[in-house]
Amino acid sequence: MSTFNINVKTGSNIDILEIRGELDAHTASELERYFKKLIDSNRHNLVVDFSELEYIASAGLGVFMAYIEEVRSLGGDIKLTNMSDRVYNVFDLLGFPTLYDILDDVNDAINRFSEQSSAQ
Amino acid sequence: MAQTGKHTLTVQASTQYLSDVRAFVADCAHNAGFQSSDVEDIRLAVDEAFTNIVEHAYNYDTSKEVCLSTGFNKNKFWISISDEGKPYDPTSYKEPNIPERIKQGKGGGVGVYLIKKLMDHVEYKTIGNINQIRMSKSL
């Protein structure tokens, strides 16, 4: 069975979701549950750390598709970091690099949020 | 031409078997001689096809079965996936407008698009009550 888990690190106004394992149609609902919970708690600055993600299918990509507009409309963003080439290639096939902020690491994402908030 | 390396796997139509399906097809593709990036492409295409069967052909009825069969010759590797659920009509396919789907907060709907991008040839057919997707990639 596909294995997948999430660890959330909560900062003052940014949450970092460390995702691990295989994100497919069997496990995508778990990520969706976390996004929903964070959005419902007014947490809109989200960083997803893909360092330990081994595999992604379109069901996983679908979770990012479903929530990005809602999060942005609330003034936040979902920034994606630390993707392996294998995972990045799947995002790239769907043209996601022009639609999402995909960064090298978590610190880049945190800095990007700081830049965006000071520019407002 | 002689067919070599033919393998089959029959599993229940449940996403809980996705990792078994992926392991099976990755092993077959690797044994056919593909490099790892091609093995990953084939594995993802089969994941998407299997997921579509679970969700759309069988509407999550896990009492149903899905049969996978792979084979290769010196030119290409192929996978055939069969089910007895609701047939997919390939003429209804439209390339998804991904920015538009995102704007509408719609996840998914990109599985067939990915399959077509990842494989060299994709064919759907229904004979009697058996639906079959047959995909191939050149070696």
Q: What is the CATH number of the domain that holds A114?
A: 3.30.750.24
pTM of the model as a whole? 0.95
Locate B91 and state its tokens: 């003429």
What are A7-52's pLDDT values in tens digits? 999 988 999 999 999 999 999 999 999 999 999 999 999 999 999 9
Q: How far apart are CA B124 and CA B92, in angstroms?
A: 12
ipTM: 0.93
* Cβ atoms of B81 and B133 closer than 8 Å: yes
In the predicted structure, residue B4 carries a pLDDT above the cut 80 = no
Domain count, chain A: 1
Q: Which 3 state secondary structure label does DSSP give B45?
A: helix
For chains A and B, count residue pairs whose Cβ atoms are closer than 8 Å: 83
- Nearest chain B residue to A21 by CA: give it: B19
Domain range annotation of chain B = 4-138
Indicate yes or no: CB of B15 within 8 angstroms of CB of A57. no
pLDDT band at residue B1 under the 50/70/90 scheme: very low
Our CA-based measurement puts residue B1 at a distance from the nearest CA of chain A, in whole angstroms, of 34
- Asked if pLDDT for residue A118 goes beyond 80, the answer is no
Residue A119 has pLDDT above 80, yes or no: no
The residue range of the domain holding A49 is: 4-119
Please identify, in words, the CATH class of the domain defined by B4-138: alpha beta
Quote the CA–CA distance of B79 and B70 in Å, as a whole number.
4
Give the per-residue pLDDT at A120. 67
A84 touches chain B (CB under 8 A): no
Q: What are phi and psi of A28, to 5 degrees?
A: -60, -30
Is B12 at the interface with chain A, CB within 8 A? no
Contact B18 A2 (CB under 8 A): yes
CA A18 vs CA A15, A55, A92, A101, B137: distances in Å:
10, 14, 21, 17, 34
Question: From CA A37, how far away is CA A35, in angstroms rounded?
Answer: 5
State whether residue B139 sits within 8 Å of chain A by CB.
no
Closest residue of B to A85, CA-based? Answer: B37
